[in-house]
A = this chain, B = another copy of it.
Amino acid sequence: MEKQARRAQVLRHAKRIFARKGYHRTNVADIISRARIARGTFYLYFENKKDLFEELLEQVLRELAVRIHRIRIGPGEPEPADQLRANLRRVMSFVLSERDLTNILLSHALGFDPELDERIQTFYDRIAAQIQRSLDLGITMGLVRRCDTRTAAYCILGGVKETIAQLSRQAPPDIDGLVEEILRFGLSGVARPELLETLRNIGEP
The SS class assigned to the A binding surface is: helix
Give this chain's copy count.
4
Looking at the assembled complex, report how far the CB atom of A181 sits from the nearest CB atom of chain B, in whole angstroms: 4
* A196 interface hit (Cβ, 8 Å): yes
Which of the candidate stretches A5-13, A48-56, A66-74, A161-169 sits at the interface with the other chain?
Answer: A161-169
CB-defined contacts of A29 to chain B, threshold 8 Å: none
* A151 interface hit (Cβ, 8 Å): yes
* A193 interface hit (Cβ, 8 Å): yes
Question: Which of the residues B24, B162, B185 comes within 8 Å of A189, measured between beta carbons?
Answer: B185
Question: Which of the residues B85, B121, B143, B190 comes within 8 Å of A152, measured between beta carbons?
Answer: B190
Contact A117 B107 (CB under 8 A): yes
Contact A159 B163 (CB under 8 A): no
3 cross-chain pairs, A with B, having the tightest CB-CB distances, nearest first: A158-B162, A189-B189, A155-B159
